[in-house]
Structure 1
Amino acid sequence: MARRIFPIALWPGLIAAALVAALSFGTLVAVALRAESFSALSEFDWMAVRFTVAQALLSAFLSVAFAIPAARALARRSFPGRGVLITLLGAPFILPTIVAILGLTAVFGQSGFVSKLLLWAGLEPISIYGFHGVILAHVFYNLPLATRLLLQGWGAIPAERFRLASSLHFGPSEVFRHIERPMLKEIIPGAFTVIFLICTTSFAVALTFGGGPKATTVELAIYEAFRYDFNLGKASLLALVQVVICALAVAASLKFRVPQMGAGGLNRVVQRFDAMTLRTRVVDLFWIVAVSLFLLMPLLAIALRGAAGMADLPASIWGAALRSIATALGSAALAILLSLALALSAMRWRGLEIIGMSSIAASPLVMGTGLYIVLFALTDPADWALPITALVNAVMSMPFILRALGPALAGAERDYGRLANSLGVTGLNRLRLILLPRLRVAMGFSAGLAAALSMGDLGVIALFARPEAATLPLQIYRLMGSYRIDQAMGAALLLLGLSLGLFYIFDRWGKHRA
């Protein structure tokens, strides 16, 4: 039997996996060892656990439930601007959370458009804070993701099935039962689990709209235990509870398929004779308009109020913007380097990819706290606030990057691996000549995603950054806290433009001459 060739060295992946494991779980050990005492979680802490699970379940359910008719309408309709709308749905993580929060406040807050409309109709305005606000923000943030994932499923259905259904005179209900429902049963569980995990570890939304005994998530409780009480025992116990919750969700997600965020099939509208009735046209129009208004109105509010507020931005905003850009670029470079090493080594040992995905079950605040404790014995941790933020954001974005790099790498090896082996092309030559050119599109998308995620992060930097070393999201949060809303809107518009710009540049680079 011929000896099997392993074209890529294993040691870079082992180093990357060790770093991810140390940050995901080693920092939790560091926090626990530093704790002076451990006491049972209080009733308030268990309320935070229950609230976290309840809001994540409801947010995921509503996001997927509203995404089903929206994705179905987009899959079977052609209209001007459809490609632009789908592009917007293709990058849900690009929108910084603090920007989404400000936009939602401008539309649904006490002085927002919806509240004014309700007052004009003689009704009480809705409350955007507490449980309702957290759910609203999470649905706004994750509905585009759910729609995009489901739209991938519709795009993967062969057009011949719909033609056959038309020849058999299937109506909308028969098409749904025999063609669409089997696809949804395959995709919905995975999409639901991904959104549940995102909502479980959400921090900025709970920090802004939550708080109080009845609207505190585990992530926010960890922040409060460290920031205000410096109770490391409670912080580590809460982090362990969150790891267990996320680990159970990750274990469940391994059984389900999560579609890739590619573009295949999304711009092709299959002719659907079952959707030509007036009723189906009206239903599809309703969902397309409703979802578009829900997503675009907060962004429009940011654009209108932000344009007026940019002229009055304080000087500190520009320094914060430069720090955010530098942090985002460093985070993107590190995320690509670590993910690429893991993805390449995972061809030889599948367990390395699982280790790389494990960061999705960890708390970024606990990572920051653990690194703070380790650095405290050596230097002033505040001096390392930006590098720590870049490192933690890089590790937290790796699960999404591995999802993009893995299939692209597998395809390149499937198409060219045997030929490269026969020519003896291994190591750096194989990486440079064969793999990297075919990973360029996925790497560009992944780098843009990592940079945008880091640009909008309001987690680790909030733990121990000095006032003069804050990033742009933290400066926006401080402006909101001092009720300088117009300036916060202007800074949010700047943050949105920078995030979109970084994503566009990296994504464009990946597609150029790919």
Structure 2
Amino acid sequence: MASRAGPITARATAAFLGLAVAALTLGSAALTAGHATDWSRGPADGAALRFTLVQAALSALVSCLLAIPLTRALARRRFAARALLIRLLAAPFLLPVVVAVLGLLAVFGRAGPANAALTGLGLPPLSIFGLHGVVLAHVFLNLPLATRMILQGWQAIPAERFRLAMALGMPPSAQFRHLEAPMLRSVLPGALATIFLLCLTSFAIALTLGGGPSASTIELSIYQALRFEFDLGRAALLAALQFALCAAVTLATLRLTTGAVFGPGLGRPLHIPNPQGWRRLVDRAIIVLATAFLLGPLIGVTLRGLPGLAELPPGVWPALARSLAVAIGSALLASAISLTLALAVARGQRWLELTAMLPLSASGLVIGTGLFLAVHPSIQPETLALPVTLAVNAAMALPYLFRLLLPETRALLADYGRLSESLGLHGLTRLRLITLPRLARPLGFGAGLAAALSMGDLGVIALFASERSETLPLLIQRLMGAYRMDAAAGAALVLVSASFALFWAFDRWGTSRATA
């Protein structure tokens, strides 16, 4: 009986994960046929589609182009805070989007230091709203991700290749042409496609910085169709269009992922030749500017949020409690599902790997739209705001946790699988004595990542929530809409502190429970 529990649980998990996308597809089809859509909005929807594609393409292109010189500078320079700086590159990925927007407003807003410097030079001020504001926010959030992805490519080049290049007297330009450029041709397409997909599904940035109908994305149009116009047919069609875009980009990303372009090395630490002169000064300038760009908004949120703590509205603490409950619940649910799927795939059920990656083909808002359309005829959506947000956030975090756990799970089965079978360890006993202790470290890190991402979610909750079920990101967005910027900054400081604390707590738990 115990030997059959794993496959049965895995199939049940796969069915659960497919429910969200199935709800979207069935709800869209039914409501598109059953509700008349105002086709006079066709030009507006076409403009939203164009803006979605343009901002995603520009954001991905700028992020990757800026990441190349930054990654090269980090790869060939050694300085005291290098390891710390590389770790800090993960901070914007964990940062709630609404907090990132507030930080960018503090630096690049009308009264920010960037516009003050432009005014001092006699130049006209810049507006952060519209296309350039959306692209700026996406670059801030995705430049670190692009840097980490490309840095892995640099570190994959065998150190012996650079030693041979130095022995042959190759100048830096020749080394770039023969060693680094082939690596970039292998890594860049996947990085571009990944960031393009993330920017396609970025709802909160368009909501806060879009700047009107001329800068509206498909997801923002879905939100407006449901919350303000209650045009269910139009919302279903737009959700289906967004799903098709995300699915196409996801398939393209899988196709663009290539293997290593260099053969295996001897495992020696990478040491790229360190050019001197003007190249050294350029590398230093790139690292300093990138650090200022990434840390400036965080410092701006902190400086503006500290005085704003005195102006927090009473609803902040109930909203924080709801956010924490949703984040912890989604982290635990995502961890349980990803562990079940990783164990099943490691045992040979490879078809479940596609199930684990299924959420990448749809954004959280699109899945939430499908669920909204499915439950609306019989249930008031406001009553399901928190459970639906918890479930969708868990589904969206699943691909990250699954990829973290799968290599460790395969190693676990290879090292302890036969021994556990020979000792008759099955079910909960094997989970308690073998599986959880050996996988505690990646489980804790992944759960912390899922919790931090869920804390900052401003997608599904915006569709379902009323004032009695709003989470902290939604409350911050409403404070910004009411131009209570000081209170919003104070609440943002509370949110980012809670997000990082939750991430640290899960990660610390995993580290303390892990066995070597």
* TM-score, normalised via structure 2 length: 0.91
Which deviates the most, 400-409 or 157-166?
157-166
Q: Which moved more, 1:158-167 or 1:283-292?
A: 158-167
2:396 maps to a residue whose letter is M
Rounded to whole Å, the distance in 2 between the matches of 1:71 and 1:111 is 32
Give the structure 2 partner of residue 19 of structure 1: 16
Q: 1:30: which partner in 2?
A: 27
> Which residue of structure 2 aligns with residue 264 of structure 1?
none
The alpha-carbon distance between structure 1 residues 174 and 434, as it changes in their structure 2 partners (threshold 3 A), is farther
Name the CA distance, whole Å, in 2 between partners of 1:75 and 1:236: 47
Range with greater deviation from structure 2 (146-155 or 499-508): 146-155
Q: CA deviation at 1:209?
A: 0.8
Q: Residue deviations 1:376-430, cap 9 Å, x none?
A: 4554331221111111111111122222122222232344445555666555454
Distance in 1 (alpha carbons) for counterparts of 2:69 and 2:207: 31
1:456-501 deviation digits (Å, cap 9, x = unpaired) = 0111111231213211111111111111111111111111111111
Match of 1:180 in 2: 180
Deviation at 1:354, TM superposition (A): 1.0
Residue of structure 2 in register with 1:337 after alignment:
336
8 Å contact from structure 1 (residues 445, 510) kept in 2? yes
2:494 maps to 494
CA contact (8 A) 1:59 1:139 kept: yes
Checking the alignment, whether the CA contact within 8 Å between 2:150 and 2:188 is kept in structure 1 is: yes
Which amino acid letter does the alignment assign opposite residue 335 of structure 2? I
Count of residue pairs brought into register by the alignment = 501
Per-residue deviation at 1:323? 1.1
**Counterpart residue number, 2:106:** 106
Deviates more, 1:286-295 or 1:206-215: 206-215
Aligned-partner residue type, residue 405 of structure 2: L
Alignment of 1:216-295 (within 5 A): 216-257=216-257, 270-272=270-272, 274-295=273-294
Name 1:90's counterpart in structure 2: 90
- 1:281-430 matches, cutoff 5 A: 281-347=280-346, 348-420=348-420, 425-430=425-430
Contact 2:441 2:513 in 1 (8 A): no
In structure 2, give the amino acid aligned to 1:32: A
Which whole-Å CA distance do the structure 2 matches of 1:411 and 1:118 have between them?
Answer: 56
Residue identity opposite 1:130 in structure 2: G
Describe the superposition over 1:159-185 as per-residue Cα deviations: whole angstroms up to 9, x where unpaired.
333222222222212222222222222
Q: Return the letter of the residue paired with 2:127.
A: S
- 1:452 pairs with 2:449: no
Contact 1:343-1:402 within 8 A present in 2 as well: yes
SS in structure 2 of the partner of residue 9 of structure 1: helix
Q: Which amino acid letter does the alignment assign opposite residue 280 of structure 1?
A: R
Q: TM-score, normalised by structure 1?
A: 0.92
Say which SS state the counterpart of residue 187 (structure 2) adopts.
helix
Q: Which segment drifts farther, 285-294 or 335-344?
A: 335-344
- Other structure's SS at 2:6 match: coil
Secondary structure of the corresponding residue to residue 315 of structure 1? coil
1:138 and 1:152 mapped to 2: Cα distance?
21
Partners in 2 of 1:473 and 1:36 — Cα distance? 32
Shift of the 166–424 alpha-carbon distance from structure 1 to 2, 3 Å rule, reads farther
Aligned with 2:493: secondary structure? Answer: helix
Q: Secondary structure at the match of 1:80?
A: coil
For the Cα contact (< 8 Å) 2:232–2:373, is it kept in 1? no
What is the CA distance between 1:36 and its match in structure 2?
1.3
CA distance in 2, matches of 1:384, 1:101: 28
Counterparts of 2:140 and 2:258 in 1: how far apart (Å)? Answer: 20
Residues 236 and 369 in structure 2, CA contact (< 8 A), matched pair in contact too = no
Deviation for aligned residue 1:153: 2.0
Query: Judging changes above 3 Å, is the alpha-carbon distance between structure 1 residues 158 and 428 closer, same or farther for their aligned structure 2 residues?
Result: farther
**Pair 415,189 (structure 1): closer, same or farther in 2 beyond 3 Å:** farther
Q: CA deviation at 1:8?
A: 6.8
Cα distance between partner residues in 2 of 1:7 and 1:62: 50
Question: What letter corresponds to residue 129 of structure 1 in structure 2?
Answer: F
| Matched position secondary structure for 2:214 | coil
Deviates more, 1:85-94 or 1:143-152: 85-94
Letter aligned with residue 275 of structure 1: N
Q: Which amino acid aligns with 2:13?
A: A
Deviation at 1:288, TM superposition (A): 0.5
Q: Following the alignment from structure 1 to structure 2, what is the Cα–Cα distance between the partners of residues 460 and 305? A: 28
Root-mean-square deviation (Å): 2.3
Give per-residue Cα distances to partners, 1:135-190, cap 9 Å, x unaligned: 00001010011111112222233333322222222221222222222222222221
Task: Give the Cα–Cα distance (whole angstroms) in 2 for the partners of residues 43 and 381 of structure 1.
Answer: 30
2:46 alignment counterpart: 46
